[in-house]
Amino acid sequence: MRLETHILNELHSFRYCGEDAKYALVISHGIGGHGGIYDDFCEHHAAKGVDIWTYDAPGHGRSTTNRPKGQWRFSEWAQASMDYASYVKNLTGLPVFTMGSSLGVGAAISAISHEDVAGSVLMGSIIVPGHPIFNEVGKPFRTDGWSEGVKLLRGAGVLDIRRFFNFDVDYGYKGAQAQKELDPYNTWAYDLESWASLWQYEPPKPLSENDKPILYTVGDSDPTFPVDLVRSVAESIGGPVDFVPFENAGHQLMLFQTEKFSTTVHDWALKQI
């Protein structure tokens, strides 16, 4: 399979070139990750006739030419999904679906109102900016006290991802985090202003007004985002939303439920075009 490298607005992306593609996916990775961690899924799924683009979010992976690792604003991350969707649409003429993995769900769903986005695939997350549950969790980050405290730190405050997120639990096996630490393109700290920008972000269009198709997936044994909580978020988004829980599955469906997840996404996408 042909693998290409693209740069758009200083943001790096891999392109997995499926033959006779019927649609395209623009994938946004999860916390501390980068677009190169989904090789198994992308090779498998592209072979079905899909043009797949996996970009590194601002301040992540190879998208760090103009800033330190771990420094970003979520408005930029969401815009990256929109910009890559437009780039792919103009280049290929294919219908483009944004896809988000875990934290990347926020960027994928925030781009859904863009004219070049046909719909979104969301995997294992409640990171849905503008949703009441998201807003409640993020309330402390939108206070004057928070803003004043961050300014006093003068950039020294950081979120240590190793301590914040347990990858052994998330991936479902001991040693997952140690394995991820071998990858030099992973990011292990966010400055606090970057992290706060996620919770302060307002999507371009209220999700209650959404009219585009969404496939919302989650593992029924997800240790990070419980299935009933994800279901409640999915059910309150406007438009045609298909909620699909995966039996006996954890958080990382793309990596550990590859065939089933790929089939579910492909069958759904073909129905939308």
Tens digits of residue pLDDT in 44-100: 999 999 999 999 999 999 999 888 999 999 999 999 999 999 999 999 999 999 999
Q: Read off the CATH number of the domain in which 198 is found.
A: 3.40.50.1820
Domain count along the chain: 1
Residue 21: give the domain boundaries: 2-272
User: Residue 227, class by beta-carbon neighbours within 10 Å (0-12 exposed, 13-18 middle, 19+ buried)?
Assistant: middle
Share of the chain above pLDDT 70, in %: 100
Q: Is the pLDDT of residue 155 over 80?
A: no
What share of residues in the chain are helix, strand, coil (percent, to 5)?
40, 20, 40
- Please give the pLDDT value at position 153: 81
Residue type, 50: V
Mean pLDDT lowest among 2-16, 132-146, 176-190: 132-146
Residue scoring higher pLDDT (259 or 147):
259
Where does the pLDDT of residue 115 fall: very low under 50, low under 70, confident under 90, or very high at 90 and above? very high
- In DSSP notation, 64-110 reads -TTS-TT---HHHHHHHHHHHHHHHHHHH---EEEEEEGGGHHHHHH
- Please give the pLDDT value at position 1: 85
8 A C-beta contact, residue 194 and residue 139? no
Q: Dihedral angle at the C-alpha atoms of 247, 42, 162, 78, nearest 10 degrees?
A: -100
8 A C-beta contact, residue 113 and residue 81? no
